[in-house]
Structure 1
Amino acid sequence: MIEFIQSLSSPYLIVFLLGLVFVLDPCTLLSNIAAIGYISKDYTSRGQVVKNYIFFVIGRFVTLGLFGFVLVVLFKESVLLLKLQNLLSAYNELIMAVFFVIIGLLLIFADRLSFLKINFSTEKIERHNINTTLQSFLLGSVISLILCPTNIVLFFAILVPLSVGSVMGLFLPFIFSLSSTLPIVMVVIIMIVSLNSIDKFYKLTDKISKYIVKISGGIFLMVGLYMLVGHLFFHYHH
């Protein structure tokens, strides 16, 4: 267990974990499910539905990855952020520990904090006719950029600074995008298997996601406290 927690010092593993927490946030997860449910409800051709799902997933992965990539490129070229990069290099362990604790607490108490809740309805999508693979791709792109309050912290306060301060930082946004897309792929597979049970699946996911988020929050909190204790009590003795 200790070796596993210590391995989280790898930026790749940290970013991969962040991506999973990013998409498992109830706001983000239900927004994606609502969009997936909408692009499938008006079709009688299963092949067309599957094609739309694929383009939706691709749109989500490409857009979120490129968005992070562009931000990292811009920030790496910024003189102002050079100080940020130096700060992260000097206090990376402490900063990550504090962020992990904060994110853990936010995830655990997300249902009690009204400012973390954003309602998403398919009525917003229904103003547009989603009836082509291109529009499904664009819908996936738009959904990927809907950053709920908790995810704003994950993306801009952790992912971007971590990527800027990493040698291989340009690849981290795509790893983040990939890990945040994997659960959506699982949702898509379930949707394909049972296109007639979208409403039931939506309600089930709503219940399950709350427990998953709290468990993820607990993991983040424990890892953050472990890193914090290790930094404060053992770091300066080396």
Structure 2
Amino acid sequence: MCCLDLFADYSLTTIFALAVLAFTAGFIDAVVGGGGLIQIPALLINLPNTPVATIFGTNKVAAITGTSVAAYQFSKKVNFNFKLLIIVSFFSFVSSFLGAMIVSIINSEILKPIILFVLVIILVYTYLKKDLGTGSKKELSFKKQVIYGSLIGGIVGFYDGFFGPGGGSFYLLGFVVLLGFDFVRASAYAKIINCVTNVGALLVFLKQGNYLMQIGIVMAFCNIAGSLMGSKMALNQGNKFIRVIFLIVVILMILRYAYDIFIT
């Protein structure tokens, strides 16, 4: 009875909808990132009277668990260069923190048309380049990997702190295009780095009290379930499967930003 009281303010329909969408978000996020494109709107629609900061905090509670599970699943199959991983994670964490700080100073709306344009270019480029990410195309020196990786971490980390949704997808594409990784390896690196950048944001939200823990825990379990399925399918199906899901997520991101720019 005590557990049921925790959800007294929410209808069964709301809980069920959030659970299903958290599972879906976990699945997509495990494959190519971008789970926030599903999970954040799900929270906004089903909890319309909840402050936006609390929505973001609750999303992080759920998302970080699923991303961590996916990262662990990939780590069992992919060999990491941990020096490179640590360096990229450091730049991602710092730039993500700076992005979160600057968002309170600069109106993020002015950059949305630029993001939309970049997403359209990414969609066309990935679609036309059929062999992109199907295998490791480059053998870069460690020095070049560090330089390109730090550049990816700095730019995408800032975006993750400033905007957020789809950050994992940008990491993935950066590792494929600049470092020459295949989609499976790139996705594995993206998961680990996303975990690092998400920890900082989650700590801020927890300190501020901007979260609904009971909702977050329910969504976290569902996010984990979706993440387990998504990571297993990605590892079993390979690069072509990840490429298709990546294209779908980029299309969703284009629709989301186009709606923000031209409709709202």
Same-fold call, TM cutoff 0.5: no
* TM-score, structure 2 normalization: 0.35
Q: Which of structures 1 and 2 has the bigger CA Rg? A: 1
Which structure carries more helix by proportion? 1
* TM-score, structure 1 normalization: 0.38
